[in-house]
Amino acid sequence: MRKITLWTCLLLSSFANIQLQAQTLPYKNPTLSTEERVQDLLGRMTLEEKVAQLRHIHSENVFDGQKLNKEKVKTFCQNMSFGFVEGLPLYSENCRDNFMKLQRYMVEETRLGIPVIITTEALHGMAQDGATIFPQNIALGSTFNPELAYRKSCAISEELHTAGIRQVLAPCIDVVRDLRWGRVEESYGEDPWLCAQMGIAETKGYLNNHISPMLKHYGAHGAPVGGLNLASVDCGVRDLIDIYLKPFEMIVKGTNVKAIMSSYNSRDRIPNSASKFLMTELLRDRWGFKGLVYSDWAAVAMLKSFHHVAEDKETAAILALTAGLDVEASSNCYPALVEAVRQGRCSMVVIDQAVSRVLQVKIELGLFENPYHTDGLAGTIHDSKKIKLAREIADESTVLLKNKGGLLPLDINKLGSIAVIGPNADQVQFGDYSWSKDNKDGVTPLQGIKEWVGNKIKVNYAYGCDLVSMDTSRIDEAVRIARQSDVVILCCGSSSTRFIRPTSIPSTTGEGIDLHDISLTGCQSQLIQAVSATGKPIVLVLVAGKPFAIPWEKDNIPAILAQWYAGEQAGSSLADILFGKVNPSGKLNFSFPKSTGHLPAYYNHLPSDKGYYKKPGCYGKPGRDYVFSSPTPLWAFGHGLSYTTFNYETAKTDKQQYKETDTIQVSVQIKNTGEFPGKEVVQVYVRDLVSSVVTPVRQLKAFSKPLLAPGETKEIVLHIPTSELALTDEQGNRFFEPGSFKIEIGTASDDIRHTLYITVGDCTSSKITVDKVVPVRKKPVGKEIKISGIVRDVQATPIENVSICSAYTGKELAITDKKGTYTLKALSDDQLIFKCKGYELETIDIKDNKNINVKLGSK
């Protein structure tokens, strides 16, 4: 009780001191405007104090293990307050005490008493030991449920307040398009609209709970060349704006987010952290962002050491600062700005502008009034409510990829034994930016299954193989265990890094852990095939941070689940799904490619990008687009099965003609026609039918996830702002082009159940293009003639199996042979219709011509 009283007295004393100072110092007066306070404080600061606000204190600067070293603080800070501080190696139980001691130094022992922003990582849970470990972003994205993203950030906010932290380096809203990249797991998915919706929800969860989120990583980031971390991204302005920066733009315009992190890499030969176009022209001038830009760690120094666009630290600092990057983290280039200003090589105006942004954020966060984090928002770290939420996200994130013969859910009453096999069967996989990789901090698949079945059936376990070697010595044991069991749960996939803290468990995904080949690593494929050869029914569970190419498994394994990195409750959630307590409702946020050579695999490709000839081949029957394969994915974006079935009964728009300022309303009636209650993700895609620039074959623009009881019918109403149909010019400006659009409603991007057509804007004629319909003709009266010719594609390659019909009778008159040639008899004034799958239909007037050669364009 004495300690609590003393702490309370110290706080009251501090507040009294703050109130006294506020009477005389305008920048500490909360009744003044933020701008007035910022300008007053700027006028009182020395150049060194200003630059210190643009710098970051890192844990090694001031901490000794789990304790703050006051002498280190004094030596490093030199009686100046700094902009930011982190304590990533700290355990959550030690955060508040250490951070409050450091904050007290800033407020009470520096000349101006400017509070510091205390920050941490929290990609899927606070990075400090002991915090709740939620499912990784890839899992959250596959829920297609923004409400869960909101609730997750609300829960994390409570833990952050308890630890004395006010800013979080999250959410990560990168749109990822190269699956070799190790950071796939940090993304919500391959689609910009999905990433934006999940990011908006997560951002609002933080903001509504008085935590400042930081969007990352700003700049084209999710498609590095070769899939290598930090590599440049090769894209034009349109893809930059419409794909990679789309989530950033939507969140900046839709929320009051105050911080954005620049990315390491470059685009168009300009490092993102030195791009004025990105950080000033786009972000601030066009989108109206008022907050601060913070460098990814050591990104400023990389301008010199990695990109080689700066010859020294000072040049790197000036490049970044003048481009619009306000705060340097980890590296030590910004101190050189002091001398640069004094020597006239850097303008004080630029310094003041960046410092103003940092001070503005500090004032808006209320740090001057409440520097010691006593706002009553703290709660219990890792309590039952947060654990339950982690479980709920895991439940909704798992994707049922295949379920041949209804193998799942398993009936425990019909089983005597079950085998749990694989490198991820008895190992937690939380994902990168986790504080743990220890089984004691989560539930493994083996543990979850054992707890679920209890003593009802026997559970047999075998490791099988590891993830990083070709050691097959333990596969025989796995086969033996499989033969002794009624059903096999085979847990394969990947293993990710553990943030900051070293571990002896090798990783195959995570930051800087990139793969040249997205086949299953090590000898996992051999393990799967050997167990499959036993003839036992197998459920393959892909516990992973990215999709892997598993074509053999798709063809040969009856049931396959993708359970991304599902957090600390992953094993319990998996058991509930396997035995039918939970109906899987996750949908793929990343398409699964057939092989590394099939990359990229994203669904929203341009119409030219998945083949022209539409004649994919295979071994023994070579074709085109590819010779021995099809460009299509194993499973496409949006795919995900259920234990029940849904019928998309009707779909309609509220009207067919819209103004440019309207919102398109799509109504879909769906019915649960199965025996299980279940959630279905209703997906709405849009296609611009004719436009002045090439647009994707379809783009997700709305989705909803209703819960339906067996036999229940619901009408789902979704909305699409017509602004989402805008195009982008070469300078990155958006413009609207009136025209016709196709609205597709389905259960996956390749499983469309209803198609609607609308027009938007002032259209003098519809742009809707459908298969040509030949008008009714009068009966031909000409004489019968013999006609021959050859049918080719636009590259003059003969086309086989083209059907040639009479336009009047509809009767097929001939089919082209392997050389594309044909011979037929027809009336001289009839028309011939040339039809072939994958090609545009062509109608030709005979007009007495006896030799008719035709070229068919690809659809």
* Domain ranges (residues) in the chain: 391-598, 646-760, 784-856
Whether the predicted pLDDT of 8 surpasses 50: no
Start-to-end CA span in the chain (Å): 79
pLDDT of residue 764: 60
Fold (topology level) of 391-598: Rossmann fold (3.40.50)
Fold (topology level) of 784-856: Immunoglobulin-like (2.60.40)
Structure tokens at 379: 């709660």
pLDDT band at residue 739 using 50, 70 and 90 as cut-offs: very high
Note the helical H segments in 163-245.
192-207, 237-239
DSSP percent split of the chain into helix, strand, coil, nearest 5: 30, 25, 45
Whether the predicted pLDDT of 833 surpasses 90: yes
Whether the predicted pLDDT of 765 surpasses 90: no
Helix (H, G, I), strand (E, B) or coil at 827: strand
Per-residue pLDDT reduced to its tens digit, 698-735: 999 999 999 999 999 999 999 999 999 999 999 999 99
Average pLDDT over residues 132-147: 98
Q: CA-CA distances (angstroms) from residue 54 to 62, 412, 460, 661, 859? A: 18, 60, 57, 42, 55
pLDDT of residue 769: 36
Locus of tokens 């709405």: 684
Fold (topology level) of 646-760: Immunoglobulin-like (2.60.40)
Residue 833 CA to residue 769 CA, distance in Å, equals: 18
Backbone angles phi, psi at 725, to 5 degrees: -100, 5
Q: What percent of the chain has pLDDT over 90?
A: 90
pLDDT of residue 780: 86
Contacts of 477 (CB under 8 A, 6+ apart): 462, 463, 464
Per-residue pLDDT reduced to its tens digit, 320-343: 999 999 999 999 999 999 999 999
Question: Could you check whether 646-760 and 784-856 share the same CATH topology?
Answer: yes
Q: What percent of the chain has pLDDT over 70?
A: 95
Average pLDDT over residues 267-282: 97
Chain centroid to CA 243: 11
pLDDT of residue 479: 98
Identify whether the C-beta of residue 227 lies closer than 8 Å to the C-beta of residue 184: no
Per-residue pLDDT reduced to its tens digit, 357-370: 999 999 999 999 99
Q: DSSP for 591-660?
A: PBPSSGGG----SS--TTTT-SS-B--BTTB--BSSSSS-SS-SB-TT--B-SS-EEEEEEEES-SEE-T
